[in-house]
Amino acid sequence: MLEQIVLNQKASKAEYDEKVEDFERRLGELQRQARDLQIPIVIVFEGWDAAGKGTLINRLMQALDPRGFSVYPIRASTEEEAHRPFLWRFWTKTPERGRIAIFDRSWYGRVLTERVDKLIRKKSWQASYEQIRSFERQLADDGAVLIKFFLHISKKEQKKRFLELEANASMSWKVTKQDWRHHRQYEKYTRAIEDMLAQTDTAFAPWTIVESHDRRFATLKVFAATIRVLEERVRGAQSTKEPEHRTDNLPGEEFPTTSLLETVDLSRTLSRPSYERKLDSYQARVRELEHQIYLRRIPVLVVYEGWDAAGKGGNIRRLTKGMDPRGYEVIPVGAPNDVEKSHHYLWRFWNRLPKAGHITVFDRSWYGRVLVERVEQFCSAEEWKRAYREINEMEEHLVSFGAVLVKFWLQIDEQEQLKRFNEREATDWKQWKITPDDWRNRDKWCLYKPAVEEMLGRTSTSYAPWTIVESNCKLYARIKTLETVIKSIEARLEAR
Amino acid sequence: MLEQIVLNQKASKAEYDEKVEDFERRLGELQRQARDLQIPIVIVFEGWDAAGKGTLINRLMQALDPRGFSVYPIRASTEEEAHRPFLWRFWTKTPERGRIAIFDRSWYGRVLTERVDKLIRKKSWQASYEQIRSFERQLADDGAVLIKFFLHISKKEQKKRFLELEANASMSWKVTKQDWRHHRQYEKYTRAIEDMLAQTDTAFAPWTIVESHDRRFATLKVFAATIRVLEERVRGAQSTKEPEHRTDNLPGEEFPTTSLLETVDLSRTLSRPSYERKLDSYQARVRELEHQIYLRRIPVLVVYEGWDAAGKGGNIRRLTKGMDPRGYEVIPVGAPNDVEKSHHYLWRFWNRLPKAGHITVFDRSWYGRVLVERVEQFCSAEEWKRAYREINEMEEHLVSFGAVLVKFWLQIDEQEQLKRFNEREATDWKQWKITPDDWRNRDKWCLYKPAVEEMLGRTSTSYAPWTIVESNCKLYARIKTLETVIKSIEARLEAR
């Protein structure tokens, strides 16, 4: 496939000079329009060593308003990055709406260098294709434009360029032993590249192959392709026509009315003496496990969702009481701030993932998308429907990286909630815990209930099941969550 | 000094139980008040190994609303951190207004472990005292509360605790060879600690020594001290009385009316042929130097300030045109976003400092504090007056870390600005560059001028001098900035 590409395409200096200034101006104009339309743009440069990525990127940068873009050179993972799932460092760099992120090499390193150099196992790089497609689809569904370039040169041309660089005293440092090794593996690399192109050339994130023997030709092609894609998107966004709905990512049918929550046995209780006895020994056990997972570099995520006043706060305090503060963090999730709002809704959670060996407890979580954001209509129906799959994909990514993921739904009934609200209002130092919002949400119990049921149904997966915690009795609930966390970590420690 | 502390203080279980619940409630209440009053709080825990920092911090955390605090365990620097000035990793963790940051070990590692283990030179740790005082003073001046605890135990007690931990199979990992080495150096450490206490026990960030032989006593003391400091601050903030003005940080007298800008020779020009010749060779030279500083791990900061339409954008494009995009970044500085506004004004710049070996170009900068924020009264007179010293301190910190810092003021006269504004309005594709704001700012020329003069006068230091760039002729200006950057980097490369 790559062999059939005609590489000796050229642009004359006259043609270049004539076109480039106009291209620059149009690109500058499109950048401003995309900013006004709040379109996030991702541009990826991949290609052979010495194909001219750096020069081309700099050329593109000159045409852009520096207030509106960032360039991310992607090298081998730092220690910080190696302790997170592979997409973490890319998710955290996705652009705000209206901004451009340019990647000099990218997440494709996984299926190129890391594959060819055998830095990861076959199973891992093969699984990456699905993760990459899901990553790009999620960004595209959120409105991002993705433009991906592969800069192509022949083996002969690469050799020529390496030798030229080596002959130049001030440039010779650019050619390393690894570069020559990759050069010798040109054919092996070609297969990896063809594989990558075949697997990830999608409608929402297509590849453009840039014949890069002639720098002028390559520059013009990159400019032209970028302009074409952006013009199309800007025109689409400006037109009054309804955008086409992509229904392929949405769950197909109405969610069947279940009554899972009705079947929960809320009469379960625990006596205080047996609570106290278990509490002490479980807290000690959690502390031991915290150390075990640190040694084994296993990340742990504990997600708490539940009705208001179901006892999340008190439950979390009992879970963490015995822990070493160096090893865990509690992240309370409220309404997103300005910066968070201008990113994909999952961005802020990717940013807060635990480092391998650490525990993060989420007091509310990404499930807000299909709960409060759905019920309060902070997002469109299409958006929250899409979210089930997106969340499952993220959780699958975490678990396949080796994380322990425990998800709790703290269930109480309406009578119990009312009782607790009244208690809070009656107790001086607890009054801050109860706000008019809480009463308003209570009135929406009937709207939240089907949202909760659908969430539990659609996101209980083999790799990340929900645990429903009967919480009318707080003592029972606390012990059940402690027990569940302990068992989940123990199972993971025994598994590998 | 440490020897005179009576370490065998105890609290009985009865006393503890009686007090601790009340303390927890009061602390929770104070946290909410501090949040409402938007007071940032910094709590530092230092102390001997095995003095019980982890347990104490966790105890404190249990009393706090997890939505309002973060805990930062500080270990040895990562590579990412070692490539930044020493205070970088602490500045980036300073809390938003209304939040609490708890540091488990802190910036004092510099003058404790790093000093005792001889990880840094004497000159460096001695200089750190001044840097630490300046850091804490800047936070305090910005309204932060600083609470610092030193957990003290005797050498005998430490040995006892190490032996107990070692005897317990599930705890023995906590005692390392380094811990025993430090134990043997107890006396040496004591001198370092006494030195630290003497040098950094200030009115705005006082130390509290916590006698930690008895855990209950230590816990109560930490709670009581935290509550006392916060109560005082909350009362102060709630009282209608004018806060006391600390004038010791402000420049003493009115800044003498200078006419530095009047003396700039704006008639300087450069012909296009000699411009083009120099441009090419200078851009090539900059690229070479970019590589040199990368190899030598030298960070470079180039700051651009100047009148609207003075040509900052075009100038920056010429400076960066030849550079490798992997090595530099242009940071355009506009109005701060929500998150930035809720931090110290220097926080966002600390966050964007170049990594050692990289170049960051600031298109506008921290000088906004004494320019636009002063003129538009976005901050108080006390705040911008204080800023000269704060900025000088930050720049001194950068330069002493080894950074090259080049600062440009692009000077044009009013006639030239008017000409350029009119040109922009007349040129179709340049219209976006001119806004009503620009015309409004122009009307304030007479307000900006003294602000610029005072800025140039007060922040031209031996380590970070301003370069005034005569910019009526754009060609002349571009060559002058290129030349200045080249010379500054060359001087740094020759220096060490």
Q: Which residues of A touch B316 (CB under 8 A)?
A: 66
Instruction: Mark yes or no for CB contact B71/A323 under 8 Å.
Output: no
Instruction: Mark yes or no for CB contact A363/B329 under 8 Å.
Output: no
pLDDT(B242) > 60 = no
Token pair 């030193």 in the structure block, residue: B150
Instruction: Find the CB nearest B73 among A28, A173, A326.
Output: A326
For the segment B67-112, what is each residue's pLDDT rounded down to a tens digit?
899 999 998 888 888 899 999 999 999 999 999 999 999 999 999 9
Contact A87, A127 (CB under 8 A): no
Quick check: helix, strand or coil at residue A362? Answer: strand
Contact B161, B153 (CB under 8 A): yes
For the segment A159-194, what is each residue's pLDDT rounded down to a tens digit?
999 999 999 887 788 899 999 999 999 999 999 999
For the segment B13-44, what is each residue's pLDDT rounded down to a tens digit?
999 999 999 999 999 999 999 999 999 999 99
Instruction: Find the CB nearest B325 among A71, A170, A324.
Output: A71
Instruction: Find the CB nearest A429 among B25, B70, B73.
Output: B25
Sheet holding B466-470, edge to edge: B328-332, B359-363, B300-306, B404-411, B466-470
Distance from CA of B348 to the nearest CA of A (A): 14
* E-only strand ranges, B266-345: 300-306, 328-332
Q: Identify any residues that bridge with B70 across adjacent strands, giving them in sequence order.
A: B101
Cβ density class B459-473: b for 16+ within 10 Å, e for less: bbeeebebbbbbbbb
Contact A39, A233 (CB under 8 A): yes
Task: Report which DSSP code applies to A203.
Answer: S
Cβ density class B90-117: b for 16+ within 10 Å, e for less: bbbbbbbbbbbbbbbbbbbbbbbbbbbe
How high is the pLDDT of residue B252? 65
Please give the full DSSP string across B114-163, using - where no structure is assigned: HHHTT-S-HHHHHHHHHHHHHHHHHHHHTT-EEEEEEEE--HHHHHHHHH
Instruction: Mark yes or no for CB contact A104/B58 under 8 Å.
Output: no
Neighbouring C-alpha atoms within 13 Å toward the C-beta of B292? 18
H/E stretch holding B70: strand B69-73
How high is the pLDDT of residue A252? 65
Closest CA to A463 of A384, A411, A401: A401
Q: What percent of chain B has pLDDT over 70?
A: 97
Closest CA to B56 of B35, B71, B78, B76: B71
How high is the pLDDT of residue A242? 54
The C-alpha atoms of residue B351 and residue B344 are separated, in whole angstroms, by 12
pLDDT(A245) > 60 = no
Interface test with A, best of B25, B32, B36, B58 (most A CBs within 10 A): B58
Domains and CATH numbers, chain B: 2-238 (3.40.50.300), 261-495 (3.40.50.300)
H/E stretch holding B104: strand B100-104
* More confident call, B430 vs A296: A296
The C-alpha atoms of residue A178 and residue A467 are separated, in whole angstroms, by 49
Distance from CA of B244 to the nearest CA of A (A): 32
Question: What residue type is assigned to position A131 of the chain?
Answer: Q
The C-alpha atoms of residue B489 and residue B286 are separated, in whole angstroms, by 9
Q: What percent of chain A has pLDDT over 70?
A: 97
What does DSSP say about strands B404-411 and B466-470: parallel, antiparallel, or unpaired? parallel
Task: Report which DSSP code applies to A355.
Answer: P
Helical pair B122-141 and B186-200, crossing angle rounded to 10 deg: 40
pLDDT(A253) > 80 = no
Instruction: Find the CB nearest A323 among B58, B291, B329.
Output: B58
Please give the C-alpha separations between residue B481 and each of B313, B317, B360, B460, B474, in angstroms, as whole numbers. 13, 12, 15, 17, 11
The C-alpha atoms of residue A322 and residue A102 are separated, in whole angstroms, by 45
Q: Which residues of A touch B432 (CB under 8 A)?
A: 32
Distance from CA of A380 to the nearest CA of B (A): 25
Q: What percent of chain B has pLDDT over 90?
A: 80
pLDDT(B167) > 80 = yes
Q: Which residues of B touch A323 (CB under 8 A)?
A: 58
Distance from CA of B274 to the nearest CA of A (A): 22
Token pair 């297969």 in the structure block, residue: A191
The C-alpha atoms of residue B295 and residue B317 are separated, in whole angstroms, by 24
Interface test with A, best of B60, B326, B361, B432 (most A CBs within 10 A): B326
Instruction: Mark yes or no for CB contact A58/B320 under 8 Å.
Output: yes
The angle formed by the CA atoms of residues B286, B291 and B295, to the nearest 5 degrees, is: 145
Residues near B204 by beta carbon (within 8 Å), at least 6 away in sequence: B136, B137, B140, B141, B146
* E-only strand ranges, A16-167: 41-47, 69-73, 100-104, 145-152
The C-alpha atoms of residue A124 and residue A143 are separated, in whole angstroms, by 29
pLDDT(B249) > 80 = no
Instruction: Mark yes or no for CB contact A325/B70 under 8 Å.
Output: no
Q: Which two tokens stand for residue A36?
A: 């006004």
Instruction: Mark yes or no for CB contact A326/B104 under 8 Å.
Output: yes
For the segment B127-148, what is each residue's pLDDT rounded down to a tens digit?
999 999 999 999 999 999 999 9
Distance from CA of A326 to the nearest CA of B (A): 5
Distance from CA of A257 to the nearest CA of B (A): 35
Please give the C-alpha separations between residue A380 and each of A37, A333, A373, A374, in angstroms, as whole numbers. 18, 21, 9, 8
Interface of B with A (CB under 8 A): 25, 28-29, 32, 54, 57-58, 61-62, 65-67, 70-71, 73, 78-80, 102, 104, 170, 173, 288, 291, 295, 313, 316-317, 320-321, 323-326, 329-332, 334, 337-339, 363, 429, 432
Instruction: Mark yes or no for CB contact B329/A104 under 8 Å.
Output: no
Token pair 């865990």 in the structure block, residue: A328
pLDDT(B475) > 60 = yes
pLDDT(A241) > 70 = no
